[in-house]
Amino acid sequence: MMKKALADGTLKGIQITRNCPKLSHLMFADDAIFFLDGNLTECQNIAQILSQYCYATGQAINLNKSGVVFSGNCPEALKHNLATQLRVPILQKTGKYLGIPTEWGHSKKELFAWILARVNAKLAGWKEKLLTKAGKEVLIKSVVQSIPTYAMSIFKLPVSICRAIEQRIASFWWQNGDAKRGMHWKRWEVLKTRKDEGGLGFKDLLTFNRAMLGKQVWRLATSPSALWSKVMKGFISPTVTSGQRQRDTDPHGVGIV
């Protein structure tokens, strides 16, 4: 129904540049984002589509967990009218989507500080004196070092964040019971080497980050028909100028989260 509405023009969706495909919605598991033009007609159309979906499937939308986000140049009166039509609250911030913050600042270090905070929270909740070295190794490899995996497959993390995570892991590894700082008998660079070379096989986060981004480049080359590939190629196309990007931006864009 969304694709049909986009094809017949009842929904406009968004288009980052002229070379990018139009996006009307994104879905992952039980999360859905719909992109609309900021007018009452499109809100009525999307509300009708969602109503038909609920009637056909017997499912219901939890309006308490839904919301609408507007672009900055949308008039306040129009915001309230559209939110009333959709019966969802107006969200000032979109928060996170799939664990990644959707709002960017000027500092990448501040943007990815949540990864370091999650690592610290995990390590602080484990009792070192109750864990053997083997237990620590399993927890570090399977839990802590897997926390930034998804973010590393999309972004190049700052070196300072990767180094801070490795320092925190190293402190946890050598730490003794009762929160006492332990002696670091080996450098972290040695522990990151393979076991048959005298190390413990911990991940080198910088190298792992580059490998994950390299995998995305490979997917970009081998899956040109994927939606994200088309968006990326359209966005970085050299034929699109900054003036064209500005003209392609919809003045009253609205997204339902």
Q: Which residue has the higher pLDDT, 126 or 208?
A: 208
pLDDT number for residue 247:
46
Give per-residue pLDDT as tens, 226-238: 888 888 888 776 5
Give per-residue pLDDT as tens, 12-45: 888 888 888 888 898 887 788 899 888 888 888 9
Alpha-carbon span 206 to 163, nearest angstrom: 9
Both structure tokens of 220: 């970009």
% pLDDT > 70, the chain: 87
pTM reported for the whole predicted model: 0.71
pLDDT number for residue 169:
86
Tell me the average pLDDT across 46-70. 90
**Looking at the predicted structure, is the pLDDT value of residue 116 above 80?**
yes
**Looking at the predicted structure, is the pLDDT value of residue 159 above 60?**
yes
- Res. 92 pLDDT band, cuts 50 70 90: confident
pLDDT number for residue 97:
72
Tell me the average pLDDT across 164-190. 77
Place of tokens 């070196």: 159
**Looking at the predicted structure, is the pLDDT value of residue 128 above 80?**
no
Gap between the terminal Cα atoms of the chain = 18
Give per-residue pLDDT as tens, 190-225: 888 888 888 888 889 999 999 999 999 999 889 888
- Res. 242 pLDDT band, cuts 50 70 90: very low
